[in-house]
Structure 1
């Protein structure tokens, strides 16, 4: 080519060949040779750069608004159709409108969420709904650092004091980055520029109000953990347009006296139950069990804005003062909630069990039901115990007694199966109208609770077995057995307390139950329950069936709570597709994304658990803040090099005893035995020991409790220097000495 290419030809070449963007690449593509033509090309490129048609970086050029072939991106999140989009970040941000980038996940890629930073390979795709398609190379990091803290105003802007427990780093805020925040206000901020010497710089992005306000505690957790708490307009519009379901082709279950039994403060009702004696002479003493679950899949269709938002949230998150639901309230609290005496769409399973509680058959159906009563646990239990009220009285003989009869059989089957029987009471925080904690209690576990649990477990098993038999993909609830390393650590703790855990055989839950039974009623009861819990792996969702170790079940999937768990919605869609009940079943796109969805909702579940735990810690710190200086009984629940964690028996709150507060002596940390041992006194401090502590500090905004150790196992803490003129005798309090000797004496006595 004797002449130079036109400016349009150069721009088209750069757009189509982003990897060939140096001047020599352009010259080669257009056949430009000779010093004269190369100088003319250089002049033309500089002219295009001056006009803004080209941008230059490190001797490489790209068209205005174009991106390089490999770029750093920030994931924006899914759109209403569930497609994931991203935007360029940092130096890859060009001038002009931001290009639309579609993230195309491949098999094996990790689940990505809004805020994730990724390195991706870009392909220009003009005219296809996105300017570029991105293929993941690697994830740089999870959601970028969000700073949540208290703003302290200063003359040159201010500082942010963090609210995270254990965090002591402050952040500098320039005068033009305060977002007009007031002194003492709770704010959310993000990193502003690269880190340099001194305090890191931050930019305030949101003002969250008074940190001491009654609603601030859960709000802190929502923002801190990135829990979506506002529904997009498109999702709300779909929810508001929803209508009650007609019978149509559904099975009519409205004459079956199903009832719901929930907590007294239940915000949604997604499961109803019924039992009756089996009249089949081939099944003497058997029972027929019904479990009906809200048909959320009818309202939340694949590819809808509601579906995209529910998948992103993964589950509902529950706080003492509010719930952040997976679905808008018009669905979760109304159309999908099985309120009494109104027609509601459902997916139901009819199960047949024998006299020993073993399931011998089941059948699923898509129906329309009408609950005969919205009961709460204590109310149902009181009726069975001889104190029915106006609501439960008419239901006692036809509904409640048959339920308890069936539960008796299920209880026998459970005893034979031997799922893991941990004794870890759940704590309940009760708030007043002003948002302050009224009380903290450990409600009694009733047979009514256990009945519903057993019915739900059996329905979940039936769903997994049904879909396995029909070879329909689904998400299983997977709980793998403990690792050998964790089992060895548990065995060491057990042996230190004088108990035994079977070794050299395939671990079963009955082996762990035997260990827990050995410790029941002893001073090591709580220690063994906590240690056994810590040896467990975390459960997760996956399309591969690896069984549920804790429940001692081979097939298990979550089917019973689609209002608050996306996993259950996937199982409902799988059942709909497997039975050809409609066009709202599991789609090929759903199936392709099952591994990604499983990872996404497993992460969401852990996010919610962390947010709920942090919120409870803050409420408890606020509750105890006016009792600083008081003494409490507790047990050591964790041991680290820097100190001891103690769970207070009265409230279940966890506090820290810093190792520096234990005196002048050096304490040796043993990770294997989870103990701290004083070098001079020989004082041993380990998991499960009963202690008396003084509350030294309670900080509601962080949830932190600082404690001082007063006594161990009823004896005052020995401190360095108390044994005058000599060191403590060797072996005093040693894990292989004192603890075992104490257990031996207890057993002989």
Structure 2
């Protein structure tokens, strides 16, 4: 036996689960695998035994590993930690996790408090922090196991995690961020065990560099970037959108049954309600019906029913389903999948208004006069049966008198719906809401995750009919609750602020259009501008500009008014399967009008403001994820067409280049300013234009151009183009010393490129 072998046997003899656990407990979060080996004098082959013990302790839930690979006891946390807010729970409390655990499945959850830490402290306003905020907190564990984090100091966004692709190139391993805004790649400090080329990884940038690259620590691996469906996966993870449901949520969903007709629940199955949805719809949460009003005092008037899936009958306040739905806030619709707010057992079964099946519903019966003005409304809770499931195209053909087989049994229903819509259109035209009608492009993805095409959705009267019926139902819900002085979550859309309007006004003269602030800003004035743009073949360009000038619609427990729809009372009532706000409104109606025992709880009523703020944030992240996924899929589609030429329009101008939108696919890309020619191009912010300082050639916002695709990066969704159209002739701008210097550098740069 050699002397080198003796220490290994000695270390192995003293190595045990107990000794490892005691060492970790004595100094939590200090030692990683190698540090423990040094502390315990473990060498040679005994290190394999140490790794096995650590795996066993972790699997048994006795120790936890942080993102820095250090260990601590499962129930041990340092006295002071940086905590990040992750969500609002059912009591309105801010729930956070220690930053060192963020993103890990075993992360301990803490309740963030501003007041003193004690057993009696509860219900305090949670540090006035929002989801994603960070704070340095003092940690204390109560006897009941609850962990309380008292805020000591609010922090900035700090060292956050980023998503990237790990790949091995000619210069070794690198991390390429998936964000379009990222300019640099990173070098990993160390590789995770089993790392593979094109792994999707979360990483944190360090403050250290190696050569010209910033070093980064990989915190976790979530899958492979290979394969067509990674675009949606990246978008979901990058925007921290919860995926799937816990076993407890699924178990609760599977135990639910259809409610019976009793108490306030009426039998509405005799009503010939029908659903009209997209051809690829998986769930049907609204049904409609219209017929002439037989009341002699309302000649020419109409009665319209809108029935909505009664989600509140199954998702009750404080239940596991309720917690999961609020955590998600809304469903997320991506080109190849839906990340639903509710499990399949509800979203596409019990709460889906499938034809010829009994379904629980919340319904509103609305009476309109012959000019389309609402006279009255009343809410009902019942059991309904859809008499047909039609697509928009099938409904449209029925309206026009050429019904398909599916529509023939309900042709009279369709004709009544169309006639009632004709009346509602009169009142809508009188109200004149904001009429931005931008094309909606659909990305078609096959089972392999490959994009097979991009099309513009046809827009029928059937679409507009359903939209107007839903708007009227939403108005009725808001008015009904407001009349009873009941606070709920409303949809708030404020008038645009002056700063955004000034930006709109500055560039419109370049398009020979005008908009001033001398008159009160109303949707009607915007509509006049949009009509002028349409006459100049600038409808989409100006429509996007007007849309960007608007305030963002949010959920709120205070205030009222929807500027875009030109309505004073407005709440979301019609989509509780996919929006938590609608579920809150349903509960308020149930409570207010004695429609059951499962209405608004006291806890929910006291937390409306926090819930509204939170679901506004989940809506924003869903919109970003949906846009990013679409961009990535289109980039993957166009990657096969490098060098192809396209018609496009300039939709943005900055000092570093032109943003363009392709006519056919709606894809957005960049033309770098340095690629426009052999001279420096100066940026005119007011005219939204780039102008050559020597030639005067100008590229301005809104212009139709021809471009060639140079780069397509599916992982980020980024597209880079080359300008083929010549700039419009113009007068060279007066140059200052900076312009002359930039022009000189521009010529040198072009010579190097050649």
Structure 2 distance, partners of 1:503, 1:484, is: 8
Cα contact 1:428–1:441 (8 A) shared by 2: yes
Q: SS at 2:724's partner residue?
A: strand
Structure 1 distance, partners of 2:85, 2:580, is: 21
* Pair 1:617–1:112, CA change in 2 (3 A): same
Cα contact 2:496–2:549 (8 A) shared by 1: yes
What is the match of residue 565 of structure 2?
551
TM-aligned CA deviation for residue 366 of structure 1 = 1.1
* Pair 1:279–1:494, CA change in 2 (3 A): same
Cα contact 1:109–1:596 (8 A) shared by 2: no
* Pair 1:180–1:204, CA change in 2 (3 A): farther
**1:695 aligns to 2:709 (yes or no):** yes
**1:600 aligns to 2:617 (yes or no):** no
Cα contact 2:204–2:219 (8 A) shared by 1: no
Structure 2 distance, partners of 1:192, 1:518, is: 49
Structure 2 distance, partners of 1:303, 1:143, is: 34
TM-aligned CA deviation for residue 672 of structure 1 = 2.5
Structure 2 distance, partners of 1:66, 1:708, is: 55
**1:150 aligns to 2:166 (yes or no):** yes
* Pair 1:379–1:328, CA change in 2 (3 A): same
From 71, 74, 79, the counterpart of 2:84: 74
TM-aligned CA deviation for residue 87 of structure 1 = 4.4
**1:333 aligns to 2:343 (yes or no):** no
Q: SS at 2:409's partner residue?
A: coil
- In the alignment, structure 1 segments of 5+ residues that lack a partner are 1-63, 92-96, 720-727, 733-749
Structure 1 distance, partners of 2:673, 2:526, is: 32
Matches within 5 A, 1:633-672: 633-672=647-686
Further displaced range: 590-599 or 332-341: 590-599
**1:705 aligns to 2:719 (yes or no):** yes
Q: SS at 1:200's partner residue?
A: strand
What is the match of residue 134 of structure 1?
150
Structure 2 distance, partners of 1:401, 1:66, is: 67
Q: SS at 2:298's partner residue?
A: coil
**1:189 aligns to 2:199 (yes or no):** no
Cα contact 2:329–2:615 (8 A) shared by 1: yes
Matches within 5 A, 1:496-575: 496-575=510-589
Cα contact 1:477–1:542 (8 A) shared by 2: yes
Structure 2 distance, partners of 1:331, 1:475, is: 23
Structure 1 distance, partners of 2:492, 2:290, is: 29
TM-aligned CA deviation for residue 546 of structure 1 = 3.1
What is the match of residue 296 of structure 1?
311
Q: SS at 1:568's partner residue?
A: helix
Cα contact 1:669–1:677 (8 A) shared by 2: yes
TM-aligned CA deviation for residue 516 of structure 1 = 1.0
What is the match of residue 94 of structure 1?
none
**CA-to-partner distance for each residue in 1:501-536, whole Å, 9 max, x for gaps?**
353222110011111112223143333212211111
**1:471 aligns to 2:488 (yes or no):** no
Matches within 5 A, 1:399-478: 399-478=413-492
Structure 1 distance, partners of 2:355, 2:108, is: 51
**CA-to-partner distance for each residue in 1:131-171, whole Å, 9 max, x for gaps?**
43535853543893232223327998x32122222423223
What is the match of residue 103 of structure 1?
112
What is the match of residue 212 of structure 1?
226
* Pair 1:504–1:99, CA change in 2 (3 A): closer
TM-aligned CA deviation for residue 107 of structure 1 = 4.2
**1:321 aligns to 2:336 (yes or no):** yes
TM-aligned CA deviation for residue 456 of structure 1 = 0.2
Structure 2 distance, partners of 1:553, 1:149, is: 47
* Pair 1:709–1:255, CA change in 2 (3 A): same
Structure 1 distance, partners of 2:594, 2:527, is: 43
**CA-to-partner distance for each residue in 1:332-360, whole Å, 9 max, x for gaps?**
01001111111111111000011111111
- TM-score normalised over the length of structure 1: 0.81
What is the match of residue 742 of structure 1?
none
**1:267 aligns to 2:276 (yes or no):** no
* Pair 1:111–1:614, CA change in 2 (3 A): same
Q: SS at 2:355's partner residue?
A: coil
TM-aligned CA deviation for residue 539 of structure 1 = 0.6
Q: SS at 1:663's partner residue?
A: coil
Structure 2 distance, partners of 1:171, 1:432, is: 33
* Pair 1:108–1:474, CA change in 2 (3 A): farther
Q: SS at 1:394's partner residue?
A: helix
Cα contact 2:88–2:611 (8 A) shared by 1: no
* Pair 1:646–1:523, CA change in 2 (3 A): same
What is the match of residue 377 of structure 2?
362
Cα contact 1:480–1:548 (8 A) shared by 2: yes
Further displaced range: 621-630 or 130-139: 130-139
Cα contact 1:218–1:321 (8 A) shared by 2: yes
Structure 1 distance, partners of 2:216, 2:536, is: 54
TM-aligned CA deviation for residue 729 of structure 1 = 4.2
The root-mean-square deviation of aligned C-alpha atoms, in Å, is 2.6
- In the alignment, structure 2 segments of 5+ residues that lack a partner are 1-74, 114-122, 735-754
Structure 2 distance, partners of 1:454, 1:99, is: 47
TM-aligned CA deviation for residue 116 of structure 1 = 4.7
Structure 2 distance, partners of 1:267, 1:626, is: 31
* Pair 1:79–1:501, CA change in 2 (3 A): closer
What is the match of residue 371 of structure 1?
386
What is the match of residue 381 of structure 1?
396
Equivalences, count: 644
Structure 1 distance, partners of 2:477, 2:487, is: 12
Cα contact 2:560–2:570 (8 A) shared by 1: no
- TM-score normalised over the length of structure 2: 0.81
Cα contact 1:100–1:132 (8 A) shared by 2: no
Structure 1 distance, partners of 2:556, 2:81, is: 31
* Pair 1:612–1:242, CA change in 2 (3 A): same
TM-aligned CA deviation for residue 270 of structure 1 = 0.6
What is the match of residue 684 of structure 1?
698
Q: SS at 1:695's partner residue?
A: strand
TM-aligned CA deviation for residue 67 of structure 1 = 5.4
From 628, 632, 650, the counterpart of 1:614: 628
Structure 1 distance, partners of 2:517, 2:185, is: 50
Q: SS at 1:682's partner residue?
A: coil
Matches within 5 A, 1:478-489: 478-489=492-503
Q: SS at 1:407's partner residue?
A: helix
**CA-to-partner distance for each residue in 1:89-147, whole Å, 9 max, x for gaps?**
569xxxxx99873224744855644x65323466x573355243535853543893232
Structure 2 distance, partners of 1:508, 1:77, is: 37
Q: SS at 1:617's partner residue?
A: helix
Structure 2 distance, partners of 1:332, 1:261, is: 17
**1:118 aligns to 2:131 (yes or no):** no
TM-aligned CA deviation for residue 579 of structure 1 = 1.4
Structure 2 distance, partners of 1:126, 1:632, is: 64
Structure 1 distance, partners of 2:406, 2:109, is: 58
Structure 1 distance, partners of 2:477, 2:334, is: 30
Matches within 5 A, 1:197-208: 198-208=213-223
